[in-house]
Amino acid sequence: MSREMNRRGLAGAAMVALALGTVLPVQAGTVADRQRSTVRASFTAGDLAAARPEGLPASVRLPGDDPAAFRTFLDGAAMASREPWLALSGGGENGAFAAGLLKGWTRAGNRPDFGVVTGVSTGALIAPFAFVGASQDAALEKAYTETSAADVFEFGGGQESLTDTWPLKRGIERSVTPALLEAVAAEHRKGRRLLVVTTELDSLRPTLWDMGAIAATGGPAALKLFREVMLASAAIPGIFPPVMIESTGPGGKRFQEMHADGGATAPFFVAPGRMLLEPLAGAPAGEDHLPAPAVYVVVNTSQAPDFQVAQRSMLSILGRSLSAMIKAQTTGAIAVTKAFAARTGTVLHVATIDQRFPQVSQAPFEQGYMRALFAHGERLGKAGTAFDWSPDALTTSATGRSASNAP
């Protein structure tokens, strides 16, 4: 199995699920018991736009492609302009890199209390713990060094997907406790903000979930939604089942929204795409800038070339094509974000899994690989060399000068 297949979360999962799902039996009779009706109540785009999650206010989320809504959201976040931001990307088991980096950063003694933390896919599973702070480092280490494929999915998902993620759902239920929600709510009340991205498949739009506002609402409905959003953000379309979120529309109309992997619309989130691409038309000077004193982006994938002779088979062609697509999407997102930072004067630091980590995984969620990647991220975080590294830095660091200016 190539390094690319394992470092590209979506492509790797697709290949494994397609290749193995056709030959492995469904595990002892549990999937059939969890099948749900796939018939959905009808609703309109207007119903969806006006809906609120059941039991919570509509304000706990906002469209992720609306610069004006994002600007309004930031106006209520006092710490967004005082502390750096952290954006955590998707990448499946490669989230071990970010988990290790955060622990190393804690050990270095200069890890910020981020004003805004955003998470997509595996980054969404890390984000609440990163948001609460260093007290959750051990929980992240456990999650990304002791997890196996059996803790994430089971083959035989049914009509919606090739696999079932009931093991991941149960893991989220164990780790996302009322105590964690209270800790998130406490940080939210200080003016910090935690955002998780999902893709709403009916509208094909990203949704930003204000996880701190959900936590601050409290109660069983908030805990349920918090967990559902995390699971949805990591729900690889077609491979993992989408998450159906109960909503109430105009006139009390009830229906289910279909949410899936936030990585379907962006590999990581710093700001809405239109805001990143060009100055907002008619906006006052400075209004298209982020208030962040600095932005740290942790990309849990590799952007390096990966050679593998593709076979003349559907699975090989599909897997390599998906790998190319995701690599291009992530490379493009990094480039656009860097261009935005240059245009607006935003201080930006980017960390990726680069050639300093040559190890290759032999299977999805292979613990040896994840432990090595966690340790690699921890070393870089502690040394302060995780961000803004390039191959040229090898020469620079050999002279004794710093290979990075961050963290």
Is residue 39 domain-resident?
no
- The CA R_g of the chain, rounded to the nearest whole Å, is 20
| Contact yes or no for 202/46 (Cβ under 8 A) | no
Is residue 339 domain-resident?
yes
| CATH number of the domain encompassing residue 90 | 3.40.1090.10
According to DSSP, the residues that pair with 206 across neighbouring strands are 199
The structure tokens listed for 341 are 């930072």
Place of tokens 């999915």: 153
| CA–CA gap between residue 389 and residue 405 (Å, rounded) | 9
Q: What are phi and psi of 397, to 5 degrees?
A: -65, -25
DSSP 183-229: HHHHHHHTT-EEEEEEEETTTTEEEEEEHHHHHHH-SHHHHHHHHHH
pLDDT confidence of residue 287: 66
pLDDT confidence of residue 374: 98
Is residue 73 domain-resident?
yes
pLDDT confidence of residue 151: 86
Total residues found in the chain within this entry: 407
pLDDT confidence of residue 33: 45
pLDDT confidence of residue 116: 99
| CA–CA gap between residue 8 and residue 117 (Å, rounded) | 22
pLDDT confidence of residue 285: 57
Is residue 29 domain-resident?
no
With a cut of 50, which residues of the chain have pLDDT below it?
A: 1-11, 13-29, 32-35, 393-405
pLDDT tens-digit map of 24-78: 334 444 554 444 567 788 888 888 988 999 999 999 999 999 999 999 999 999 9
pLDDT confidence of residue 362: 79
Please state the pTM of the whole predicted model. 0.87
Is residue 305 domain-resident?
yes
| CA–CA gap between residue 218 and residue 387 (Å, rounded) | 36
**Domain coverage including residue 321:** 3-21+50-377
Is residue 35 domain-resident?
no
pLDDT confidence of residue 284: 61
**Looking at the 3D structure of the chain, how many domains does it have?**
1
pLDDT confidence of residue 397: 38
316 three-class SS:
helix
The structure tokens listed for 34 are 């969890």
| Contact yes or no for 59/73 (Cβ under 8 A) | no
Is residue 112 domain-resident?
yes
Is residue 402 domain-resident?
no
